[in-house]
Amino acid sequence: MAQKSYNINNAHRKQTQQLDVYPRFLFGPGPSNAHPRILQAMGMRQVGHLDPQFLALMDEIQELLRYAWQTDNEFTIPVSGTGSAAMEASLANLLESGDKVLIGVNGYFGNRMTDMAERYGAEVHQLHRPWGTVFSVDEIRQGLEKHRPAILGLVHAETSTGACQPFDEIGDLCRKYDCLLLVDTVTSLGGIPLLLDEWKIDAAYSGSQKCLNCPPGIAPLTFGERAIAKLKKRKSKVANWYLDMTMLMDYWGDNRTYHHTAPINMNYGLREALRIVAEEGLEERWERHQTIGESFWEGLEGIGLECFVEKRYRLSSLTTVKIPEDVDGRAVHKHLLEEYNIEIAGGLGELSGKVWRVGLMGYNSRSSSVALLLGALKSAVALYRR
């Protein structure tokens, strides 16, 4: 039989090298370095997404996530995608066109939440605070009183500013005003104190690549009873097919109905990450992040650098360091990467050029990271003083 011949265009048939990247110390706002045990778990052979072994693993992930978040919420799952996918899933599912939403904006990610909520047709109101500061209970109360929103969205750990929003009384206020409390816990889960049920948080999402040390690509999401009730009362379909939790519930719940193919190896990675959290214990982990964070802040002071956020609201997982006026911030950043293989990040949005962002997350939160960072920063700052 004559072989069919195809007219192949070889213009894009690029010959490339086998992948080999330099190791880096990922001390920026994320991704953090993946824990070796997590990478090893991700290399495990695949099974199908309905294989009994995978179904058992799904249950384990859900249970370990409940521990990490300190919640009994039945609907607690990993979303296929990064933190933004879980943020979008929260908004797409919990709001319907015309719903009033109030979002606290004291950094970059409040604006992202706003953008998403607007795309789903919500009437969005913002509560503003200068970047690097946090909302008081009174400010939240006034916002709820004025706007009477169906959902209040707040960021627990603002990765763009390094500030940590306290939650005392906010959950009670939201119940008083019949409003759901939605919280971004991307940079807090597994790193700093976070008690979802005690704080009466109705819905929360996170990411894998920060304090959990799993590569990006899978993102925890949880809805409590009040959030589920709103979801079940929807008059319209969820406007995002991929992130429609009314369908995904049937996969993660008892029915195990196919929706989309779960990213098997990302789930292996997340499971290992959560096992590591459970092995260490939450209190020990929070304490370690705080101790290491404080030793970094003290060390910064010792080399003449200043933190951007007031100490009582400072995140131990992510520190914003003021760039001295006479120092070329970009050059320091570049020097750290080229000479020390250390990645840190510059400021986002209105903090661009004003701060460096340094993450000491999960596995990276240890004394050797602090020593390395301080030594590198000290020499780079001396080198690039104008």
Q: For 321-325, which contacts have Cβ atoms below 8 Å and span 24 or more sequence positions?
A: 321/355, 321/356, 321/357, 321/358, 321/377, 322/354, 322/355, 323/353, 323/354, 323/355, 323/356, 324/381, 324/385
Angle made by CA atoms 312, 28, 128, in degrees to the nearest 5: 50
102 bridge partner residues: 125, 152
User: Residue 203 is encoded by which pair of tokens?
Assistant: 């819905």
Q: Which of 32, 33, 71, 82 binds ligand PLP (CB under 6 A)?
A: 82
| Minimum distance from residue 371 beta carbon to ligand PLP (Å) | 26
Contacts with ligand PLP, 199-218, as mask; x by CB under 6 A = --------x--------x--
* Kind plus residue range of the DSSP H or E element containing 276: helix 264-280
Report d(CA 121, CA 96) in Å as an integer: 7
| Minimum distance from residue 99 beta carbon to ligand PLP (Å) | 21
Report d(CA 157, CA 316) in Å as an integer: 10
Q: Is residue 184 a contact point for ligand PLP (CB under 6 A)?
A: yes
Residues 6+ apart with CB under 8 A from 9: none
| Minimum distance from residue 207 beta carbon to ligand PLP (Å) | 4
Residue closer to ligand PLP, measured from CB, 41 or 218: 218
Report d(CA 323, CA 344) in Å as an integer: 13
| Minimum distance from residue 206 beta carbon to ligand PLP (Å) | 8
The interface with ligand PLP within residues 145-164 (CB under 6 A) comprises: 155, 159
Contacts with ligand PLP, 35-64, as mask; x by CB under 6 A = ------------------------------
Residue 287, CA atoms < 13 Å, CB-side half-sphere: 5
Q: Is residue 186 a contact point for ligand PLP (CB under 6 A)?
A: yes
8-16, 91-99, 180-188, 196-204 -> range binding ligand PLP (CB under 6 A):
180-188
Query: What letter does residue 323 receive in the DSSP assignment?
Result: P
Report d(CA 221, CA 182) in Å as an integer: 11
* Contact by Cβ (8 Å): 52, 278: no
The interface with ligand PLP within residues 344-383 (CB under 6 A) comprises: none
Number of residues that bind ligand PLP (CB under 6 A): 14
77-85, 138-146, 252-260, 325-333 -> range binding ligand PLP (CB under 6 A):
77-85
Q: How many CB atoms lie within 10 A of CB 279?
A: 10
Residue closer to ligand PLP, measured from CB, 62 or 160: 160
Residue closer to ligand PLP, measured from CB, 116 or 274: 116
Residue closer to ligand PLP, measured from CB, 29 or 149: 29
Q: Is residue 132 a contact point for ligand PLP (CB under 6 A)?
A: no
The interface with ligand PLP within residues 2-31 (CB under 6 A) comprises: 29-30
DSSP code per residue over 128-160: E--TT----HHHHHHHHHHH--SEEEEESEETT
Q: Is residue 109 a contact point for ligand PLP (CB under 6 A)?
A: yes
| Minimum distance from residue 79 beta carbon to ligand PLP (Å) | 10
The interface with ligand PLP within residues 273-332 (CB under 6 A) comprises: none
Residue 275, CA atoms < 13 Å, CB-side half-sphere: 13
DSSP code per residue over 332-368: HHHHHHHHH-EE-EE--GGGTTTEEEEE--GGG-SHH
| Minimum distance from residue 208 beta carbon to ligand PLP (Å) | 8
Contacts with ligand PLP, 245-264, as mask; x by CB under 6 A = --------------------
Residue closer to ligand PLP, measured from CB, 207 or 329: 207
Residue closer to ligand PLP, measured from CB, 32 or 380: 32
79-87, 98-106, 230-238, 281-289 -> range binding ligand PLP (CB under 6 A):
79-87
Angle made by CA atoms 375, 381, 382, in degrees to the nearest 5: 95
Q: Is residue 87 a contact point for ligand PLP (CB under 6 A)?
A: yes
Residues of this chain that bind ligand PLP (CB under 6 A):
29-30, 82-84, 87, 109, 155, 159, 184, 186-187, 207, 216
